[in-house]
Chain A
Amino acid sequence: MSEHLLSLLLLVPFVGALVIAFMPRQWVTAIRNVSVGIMLFEFILSLSVLKGDYTGAAYQFVEHTPWVESLGISYKLGVDGISVWLVLLTTLLTPISLFVSWTTIDTKIKEYAIAFLMLEVGMLGAFLALDLFLFYVFWELMLVPMYLIVGVWGGRERVYAAVKFFLYTMVGSLLMLVAILYLVGQYKELTGNYTFDLIELTRVVLPFNAQLWLFGAFALAFAIKVPMFPFHTWLPDAHVQAPTGGSVILAAVLLKLGAYGFIRFAMPLFPLATQYAGPTIAAIGVVGIIYGAYCAWVQRDVKKLVAYSSVSHMGFIALGIFAMTSQGVSGAILQMLNHGVSTGALFILVGVIYERRHTRDLEAFGGIARVMPWYTILFIIVTMSSIGLPGTNGFVGEFMILCGAFLSNEGYVGLGHWARVMTMFAATGVIFAAVYMLHAVLKIFWGPIKHHVNEKLTDLTRREFIALAPLMVLIFWVGLYPATFLDKMEPSVNAFISDFNQRWDQTKNNTTELRLLTADGRGFESLGGDLPEGARAQADLARDGVNR
């Protein structure tokens, strides 16, 4: 079984969706139980991914089957220390997000469950795919259920938000498709074969200008997904309109795909462009941190506030990734999990009062700490995690990112001279996080009860507790003993950085030619493979003459 574990992970929710499709829609309870049951089974199944060997950087549970042989498209899956945590995040958050929507969603329950299961297939596929074509398929597959979740079960302006979400994301990914095809075309030019295999394609060394264009196309797709300033405007709309479960998945998992895409695809494929544009993207991330925090501060709608806080937090992640230091990248990946957990929990919590009061206006609350003490406690814990209080998960992630960014100008790859200034500005984000989150806490929980409706609010139900409990455990687990997570991701992160540095070092002077690296990545494939020995030496000599 273990050699098909990853396929099984994709298959279970897919089959689950089929099963539910054939259940009569009157069986509401059964549909709910079965769908969450399938997702829980999926989660338990996904835990066995941890059994892989993550002491090295090699992909685990790799499955490789040709799919469209003439075009070199294959069905290739695998996990490493980076994606394994994102897979687990997905399988954990999906049942939770469906579970919290238990009572809020009362129409088209069957379709809702199917949408979530298909969404899970798409997200897992995107995290597992090691073939660019396959990745693209899953990347687009995710869009559809999310589009439906926002558009069908969303708030009043759901259609606008759904279309905006869909088009925005689509535009970015289309450009990425073009870039993928161009890259594959270049590979064909070099070797005479087609392939979409990520590892094969990383051997292609494109001229600097081509790298810039292709990186730009990938980066746009991922930046929209992250979302990075200024491509973030779809996010507040989508979050506000999405039902609670949709918001949770959107914030907790979908946004991570953008950051993951940078690490897995855009950066290894285009090292020169990454090095060239990295500091700029990191700087945009820093702008996002502060800008997102500013915008969050003045929102009256709690969901919008949390949505903008995501923009701010994801800025940290971008900074960490492009710092290209071991702790920066590890911190960024850890922070992806943290953001998934904390912001996921925040959206659930916001959903809780929305369900009771049917409003998310900060002014409609005040003083509800007295009537909802448990709710208050959990909200404060999540707030502290979100603003990075030591002992909670947010601290470890942010601290590592900031530390990584601060130290990243020592090597030749990284943020350069501005690293420390950027870190300083990014660190002000920690202050602003406290400002907007405590502002919200003050408005919602403290002070006297101003509206008499709020006197009768009921505290968390058992179901809400159960949904939030694992997230609370994770907040402290990651905060106190992050080694569980860091140890497994570290070899992959270190390999990512050293591979990147090596490739950058090897190709940094080779800015105008299209070349192919050898399979071990240590040298260039000579193009005239069939030349006699002497002639090749001659060609090499000639090349040296030009480059010297």
Chain B
Amino acid sequence: MLDSFPADRALLLIVLFPLVGAIALGLASRLGANRSAVRFVAVGSVFASFVTALFCFAKLYVMKDGDLGGEAVISRQLWEWFHVTVPGFGQTSVDVRFSMDSLSGLMTLVVTGIGGLIHLYALSYMEEEDDAGYARFFTYLNLFTASMLILVLASNLVVMFVGWEGVGLCSYLLIGYKYQYTKYAKAGKKAFIANRVGDLGVIIGMFTLLAATGSFEFAEINAAAPGLKNMGFTFGGETPFFSFATIACGFLFLGCTGKSAQIPLYVWLPDAMAGPTPVSALIHAATMVTSGIYLCCRLSPVFLQSTTVMATIAIIGSVTALVAATIAVVQKEMKKILAYSTVSQLGFMFAAVGVGAFTAGFFHVFTHAFFKACLFLGAGSVMHAIGSHTDANIFKLGGLRHKLKTTHWTFLVSCLAIAGTPFFSGFFSKDEILLGAASVALPHLTEGQTTEGLLLQPWTGWFVLITLFVAATMTAFYMFRMYFLAFWGEEYRSAHGGDHHDQEHGHTHNDGHHDDHHDNGGYEPAEHAYAAKPHESPVLMTFPLQVLGVGAVIVGFLGLPHLLPGGIHLPNLWGEWMSASIASIGDSFPALHASEEHMSPIYVAMTFGLLAWAIGVGAAYQAYANATIDEDLAAKNMDHITAKLGAPVHTFLFDKWRVDEAYDFAILKPIRGLAQLSANIDQSFVDTLLTRFTAWGARGVGWVFTRLQTGVVHFYGFVFILGAAALSWWFLYPHPSLEVRSQEGARVTVEAGTGLGYEYQFDMDSDGQPEGEFGSANTQSFAYDADDHVGFVMNIGTLRGDPEQIPLFRSEQQIDTDLLGVSWQRELAEGEDESALNVPPVVWVTQESKLAIRPNGALVRGGQLGDDGYMTFAPGDVARIGRVPVQFHPVVRATVEVRNAFGHTRKYSEEFVLDGGSRATARLQLTGAPQEVAR
């Protein structure tokens, strides 16, 4: 049956079911629909998706054909979204394409499977909402599922980014689901913006990979990964300081710290617990926050190329695990504790990624999804039972194990799992992570090999190992602190505390605005006293708890340690399955692999793991199993153990190391200040400078002119007379001018400027003897002969076409070599000094009115070199200096005398070059053929 199953098309269905569901529910929330229809669509769409995913997964299994580690990919291209051109690679299309392989197949099952259970739980949990709110909640939840599936199934970075931002949007909407409360809305905004900071990293990382590999497709990037280690952006041919792998992975990891709540961007996740509890379970524990680890695994071959980034991830991951654990230890509310626990566990996963144990990290994603979802839903069940809609204060609980039996046992097994109790799921996955760290700490060096060549140095491994050991111990401790305080103890501490109305069934959920009048001005919902008699939640809520609880116990067996002391081999299904999609550090660096002859990492990891569990759980049992709560200390958010930390330390931890405040002070306030400053500058400086100053300037000029408009008639009269006088002068005397109209050889026709009543008398050769009488004709022709020449010029051909004109004198002048181009020099004569060639040619007018050139260093052609070392030319002659043509022309002077109607006369003279006048013939007419010039 599976053979004919169109798995590639079914991939699309996996995404479409929840997406269409979301659209339908969105319409239902506005247009109104039957609640049971809403329930059906909400849960049905996710389960339909789950079933389809199961089929695809089975198909994947079949495709692997018995070999779990075999390559198998189901892929479906939908349409080309857009394309980009990458220098060196050409056009690359960005496709909307989904693909499922070993990694994404499992993640799809987690998202739809656990997602479906949480949807089921939410049906009952959100029952109190009004119809519109109910449908709206499931709209968001389905939209989230769809986005998460897009993220997981995307076959390239860009489509993944659609899901990546899509889940961010849904997270924003769901955290702020109860938008009536400013606190919730603000928490949503904070989550969105922190994620956006990370998204910047994803974008830049994406572009770097594109520039380096020419593709956004995961498969192609991973295939090109080995080349990324030694290449990088260069500035002018230097070797790159950072490799492509380091830049890309560094930026992508920034994105991961946002999405997966790692230092420094983890601050949004604890606040995000403002969302309804199913949201916390689905988005902020099981699925969305693990997408950072998913991305690292997806691109594991690239990450393996950068030691810097791997070590950074390992350190940030383990430090985050520790810091979050220290905060969780002192918290008093269940969801807060679980939130920090999530941050801490995510730190474990990143530590695994950082030490190259990608498979182990992703295994922890998988097991964590079960037990953490179960814990959150369990907390939700407790809140439901006690009628709280903010959080459950463990100091006010106690003894719940008798009242909430199902919730209790599921919660217990999940606590056991997260604490790393042997044979529970968390035990196996945590052990794998510690093993990864231990393998780096204790590399298996062959003879003569040093740690020099290793991807990661042993100190990284030791750092991660020790930090995670401490964090794991604290995890076991705080989880059981919560468990004992909430579920153990003889009595339920709020049994008599409730002085409120309708505590019978404890349901004080409502949709917010009804209690606007006593909820802190709409900032957050008021804290009600807890119900006096908590009841177990309905079956719709307990069923998912049971499924997840069972999962929390058993799923660990998928990833049994491959190698046990004594050389026992167990089938590690997980590792084999994942090996098709995730690169392993062992493949590239065998020295970092535990093996039969090198068992020490396995011993170390197991010892640390078991010790952490034993110490943590034992201490918690000792401290809290039969604890009583001191009211005074509880008022100060402390219990008898955490009080021993001392008030300052406790406060510091309780206030989350005051990181929010530090960010506020160091980042937000300055940026906000800068923004305010920008806005002020914009109004007062930019606007003033560009508009008001200009306006004032214009007004100033206007003011000056208005001063002339005095209104004093005498002044106007005076100005009038001045003007009249100027005009009279203009008309009283003629204003002669002269221009060449045409020239043919030596015959030139000139034209004088006309005016009112002008008469003209021309003296063309300027010998003082006019050629005729005054007449009305303003043109005159004249043929010049050699006697009329008053001077000479030399025209040098230039590039522009217009010749450069050089007036010639009796004295010698050098020709500017800039006009001659570069190859004007002649060849060196025998026995001559090279410097002789640098002397430019000289030109002058001889006493006989001949035009002379002394070539000096230049190659001059067109004339005969005389005995005295120069050539002579007549006017009109052409020569060439180097490659540049030159021509000599005579200059003549014409004079016109103009008489106007008043009888006043004026003379005007103009000199002309007899070079033909118009521009076209100004070109030098050369007789030589081009070949003669070419050397």
The interface of chain A, by Cβ under 8 A from chain B, is 164, 168, 171, 229-231, 233-234, 291, 294-295, 297-299, 325-327, 367, 369-370, 373-374, 377, 384, 389-391, 395-396, 399-400, 402-404, 406-407, 410-411, 417, 420, 423-424, 427-428, 430-431, 434-435, 438-439, 442, 445-448, 450, 480-483, 486, 513-514, 527-528, 530-531, 534-535, 537-539, 541-543, 545-546, 548
Contact = CB atoms under 8 A, between A and B. Distances in A.
B497 interface: no
Nearest to B96: A480
Contact of B923 (A326, A486, A513, A535): A535
* A-B residue pairs, 7 tightest by C-beta: A448-B522, A410-B87, A446-B185, A545-B821, A390-B162, A294-B675, A294-B678
- Chain B: interface residue count, which band? 35 or more
Contact of A531 (B233, B923, B933): B923
From DSSP, what is the main secondary structure of chain A's interface residues?
A: helix
Contacts of A528: 801, 920, 923
A508 to B, nearest CB: 17
B616 interface: no
A326 B180 contact: no
24 contacts: A230-B689, A233-B691, A367-B180, A370-B513, A373-B30, A373-B132, A377-B30, A403-B207, A404-B84, A407-B86, A407-B210, A427-B203, A431-B193, A434-B193, A435-B193, A438-B193, A447-B522, A448-B181, A448-B513, A483-B79, A531-B923, A534-B926, A539-B797, A542-B799
Interface in B816-848: 821-823
Contact of A390 (B165, B522, B678): B165
Given A482-B82, A545-B823, A431 B923 contact: no
A534 B679 contact: no
B671 to A, nearest CB: 8
A298 B681 CA distance: 12
Contacts of B923: 528, 531, 535
A400 B206 CA distance: 12
A367 B180 CA distance: 6
B161 interface: yes
Given A399-B158, A435-B193, A539-B801, A367 B522 contact: yes
Given A541-B883, A545-B823, A546-B822, A400 B84 contact: yes
Contacts of A435: 193
Contacts of A327: 82-85
Interface stretch (B194-202, B223-231, B488-496, B549-557): B194-202
Contacts of B676: 298
B87 A411 contact: yes
A374 B30 contact: yes
Contact of B797 (A514, A527, A542): A542
Nearest to A414: B87
B674 A294 contact: yes
B65 interface: no
Contacts of B192: 434, 438
Contacts of A171: 694
Interface in B633-678: 671-672, 674-676, 678
Given A297-B675, A548-B822, A439 B930 contact: no
A175 to B, nearest CB: 13
Contacts of A417: 235
A502 to B, nearest CB: 17
B690 interface: yes
B180 A370 contact: yes
Contact of B207 (A407, A447, A539): A407
Residues of B contacting A: mostly: helix
Contacts of A326: 84-85
A400 B933 CA distance: 56
B466 interface: no
Contacts of B182: 442, 446-448
A531 B919 CA distance: 12
Contact of B679 (A295, A391, A427, A450): A295
Contacts of A530: 920
Nearest to A164: B691
Contacts of B85: 325-327, 407
B885 to A, nearest CB: 7
B903 to A, nearest CB: 41
A165 B186 CA distance: 38
A376 to B, nearest CB: 9
Nearest to A436: B675
A406 B933 contact: no
Contacts of B185: 442, 446-447
Contacts of B218: none
A545 B165 contact: no
A374 B132 CA distance: 12
A539 B79 CA distance: 58
A481 to B, nearest CB: 7
A319 B512 CA distance: 46
Contact of A406 (B211, B883, B924): B211
Contacts of B193: 431, 434-435, 438
A420 B233 contact: yes
Nearest to B91: A326
Interface in B510-529: 513, 516, 521-522
A542 B687 contact: no
B690 A230 contact: yes
Contacts of A541: 883, 930, 933-934
Given A430-B199, A438-B172, 16 more contacts: A164-B691, A168-B691, A298-B676, A298-B678, A327-B82, A327-B85, A367-B179, A402-B207, A407-B207, A427-B200, A431-B193, A447-B182, A539-B801, A541-B933, A542-B797, A548-B822
Interface string B794-816: 00011111000000000000000
Contacts of B189: 438-439, 442
B731 interface: no
A396 B94 CA distance: 11
B565 interface: no
Nearest to A304: B679
A534 B82 CA distance: 54
A399 B189 CA distance: 23
B149 to A, nearest CB: 14
A231 B679 CA distance: 14
Contacts of B521: 448
B30 A294 contact: no
Nearest to A334: B82
Nearest to B199: A430
Interface centre among B83, B678, B926 (most CB of A within 10 A): B678
A370 B189 CA distance: 18
B908 interface: no
A231 B162 CA distance: 35
B804 to A, nearest CB: 12
Contacts of B885: 538, 542
B8 to A, nearest CB: 20
B11 interface: no
A209 to B, nearest CB: 15
B821 A298 contact: no
A446 B176 contact: yes
B127 interface: no
A291 B513 contact: no
A434 B884 CA distance: 66
- Tell me which of A377, A390, A513, A531 has the highest count of chain B C-beta atoms within 10 A of its own C-beta: A390
A423 B207 contact: yes
A498 to B, nearest CB: 12
Interface string B159-185: 001101110010010001001111011
B926 A538 contact: yes
B547 interface: no
A481 B79 contact: yes
A537 B797 contact: no
Given A402-B203, A539-B801, A447 B179 contact: yes
A113 to B, nearest CB: 31
Contacts of A400: 82, 84
B767 interface: no
Contact of B690 (A233, A423, A439, A514): A233
